[in-house]
Chains A and B, each alone.
Chain A
Amino acid sequence: ENEAAPALVAVHPNHEFVSVSIGSDIRVFDLRDGSGVKLVDGDGGHRDSIRSIRFSRSGKLFVSAGDDKLVKIWDTITWRCVSVVVSEKRVNSLAISNDERFICFADKFGVVHLVDLRDYKSSDSFPINKKAVPILAHYCSIITRLEFSPDGRYIVTADRDFKIRVTVFPEEPLHGAHEIQSFCLGHTEFVSCLAFLGNDRDGLRLLVSGGGDSTVRLWDYASGS
Chain B
Amino acid sequence: GMAALPRKRFYRARAHSNPLSDSHFPVPVSPEEFDYSLHYPGHQSGDSKIEFADVGCGFGGLLIALSVMFPGTLMLGMELRDKVTEYVKHRIEALRTTHPSQYRNVSVVRTNSMKYIPNYFAKGQLTKMFFLFPDPHFKEKNHRRRVISPQLLDEYAYVMSVGGLIYTVTDVEELADWLKSCLDEHPLFESVSEDDLAADPVVGLLTTATEEGQKVARNGGQTFPAVYRRCF
| Interfacial residues, chain A to chain B (CB-CB below 8 A) | 109, 111, 134, 136-137, 139-141, 161-163, 165, 167, 175-180, 182-183, 185-188, 224
Contacts and interface: CB of A to CB of B under 8 A. Distances in A.
Nearest to A111: B151
Interface of B: 19-20, 29-31, 114-115, 118-119, 123, 144, 150-155, 157-158, 186-188
Contact of B30 (A111, A137, A175, A186): A186
Contacts of B186: 178
Given A178-B188, A179-B188, A186-B29, A109 B155 contact: no
Nearest to A185: B30
Contact of A178 (B29, B30, B144, B187): B187
23 contacts: A109-B144, A111-B151, A134-B151, A137-B151, A137-B152, A139-B114, A141-B115, A161-B115, A162-B29, A163-B118, A165-B118, A167-B154, A178-B153, A178-B154, A178-B187, A179-B188, A180-B123, A180-B154, A183-B118, A183-B158, A185-B29, A185-B31, A186-B29
A182 B123 contact: yes
Contacts of B144: 109
Nearest to B154: A178
A162 B115 CA distance: 11
The 3 A-B residue pairs with the shortest CB-CB distance, nearest first, are A185-B30, A137-B151, A180-B158
Contacts, number: 54
Q: Which of A111, A178, A186, A187 has the most CB of B within 10 A?
A: A178
A167 B20 CA distance: 24
Contacts of A179: 154, 157, 187-188
Contact of B115 (A140, A167, A183, A188): A140
A167 B187 CA distance: 14
A211 B174 CA distance: 42
A140 B30 contact: no
A133 B187 CA distance: 17
A108 to B, nearest CB: 13
B157 A178 contact: yes
A137 B152 CA distance: 8
Contacts of A167: 154
A186 B144 CA distance: 27
Contacts of A137: 151-152
B184 to A, nearest CB: 13
A186 B33 CA distance: 10
Nearest to B232: A179
B29 A188 contact: yes
A165 to B, nearest CB: 8
A111 to B, nearest CB: 7
